[in-house]
Amino acid sequence: MLIDVFKQWFDRLPLSPGERKIFNLPNALTMLRIAVVPVLFFLLLSPDETWSLVIAGLFVLASFTDILDGWVARRYGIVTTMGKFLDPIADKLVVNTAMILMIPIGRIPAWVAAIIVIRDFVVDGIRSISSADGIVISASPLGKQKTVCQAFAVTALIIHYPFFGADAHLVGTVLVYLALILTVWSGLDYLLRFYRFAIRKEEGAE
């Protein structure tokens, strides 16, 4: 497999054990995803059909590395603190940046993007508070469905123009409203589960 070749190349790099925990294959894939963010700023130029496809292709590539870096980390047992820190940041940075940059050119309503971004901040806050209190709130199927739907929606909205006979903007708009529903639903699910855990903890402390 090609991924094995890259892994062997990384293994041959003259790095200390501490450096290897930062500069490894999964983290390199994550940083590659973050590197796509500056390219997304070309959306502000309201790109034509060709450039919209190019930017959408890079966004899809970035989304693919989100799956790939986690798979590589598990396959080779390269799960590091840096990876756990960078991965969720990279995910939200790419998707949220794309949505925000599409607001000025009219490809996504500002209020939709705002709700999705705010939900992410709220959920991250809940997870941080929960973790500090020793409470683990696992990702729900709703959250995963929201992430997948959001990725397809953003891709279609970046394409924008008719693609293979389909109205990409219309498809993206329908998907982004579906993602919005899943966003609110999954956010409320996180809040409810956090509330239940908090109540149980308080009752156990009495």
- State how far Cα 100 lies from the chain centre: 14
Residue 24, pLDDT > 70, answer yes
Distance between CA atoms of residues 34 and 38, nearest Å: 8
Provide the pLDDT for residue 205. 55
pTM of the model: 0.85
Distance between CA atoms of residues 179 and 168, nearest Å: 16
Q: What is the mean pLDDT of the chain?
A: 85
Higher pLDDT pick, 35 / 26:
35
Q: 149-153 — which CB contacts under 8 Å span 24+ positions?
A: 149/175, 149/178, 149/179, 149/182, 150/95, 150/116, 150/176, 150/179, 150/182, 150/183, 151/63, 151/95, 153/178, 153/179
Residue 185, pLDDT > 70, answer yes
What's the mean pLDDT in 23-43?
88
Tokens coding 157: 């909205």
pLDDT digits (tens, 9 = 90+) for 60-99: 999 888 888 878 878 877 777 777 778 888 888 999 999 9
Provide the pLDDT for residue 116. 93
Give which of 183, 145, 147, 153 is closest to 170, Cα–Cα: 153
Distance between CA atoms of residues 157 and 174, nearest Å: 10
Q: What is the percent of the chain where pLDDT is above 70?
A: 89
Alpha helix ranges (H) inside the chain: 2-11, 17-20, 25-35, 37-40, 49-76, 81-102, 110-132, 141-159, 168-205
User: Which residues, including other chains, have CB under 8 Å from residue 113's CB and lie 6 or more apart?
Assistant: 96, 99, 100, 102, 103
pLDDT band at 26 (very low <50, low <70, confident <90, very high): confident
pLDDT band at 136 (very low <50, low <70, confident <90, very high): low
Distance between CA atoms of residues 121 and 182, nearest Å: 16
State the CB neighbour count (10 A cutoff) for residue 178. Answer: 16
Provide φ and ψ at 166, rounded to 5°.
Answer: -105, 145
Higher pLDDT pick, 174 / 19:
174
Distance between CA atoms of residues 128 and 157, nearest Å: 32
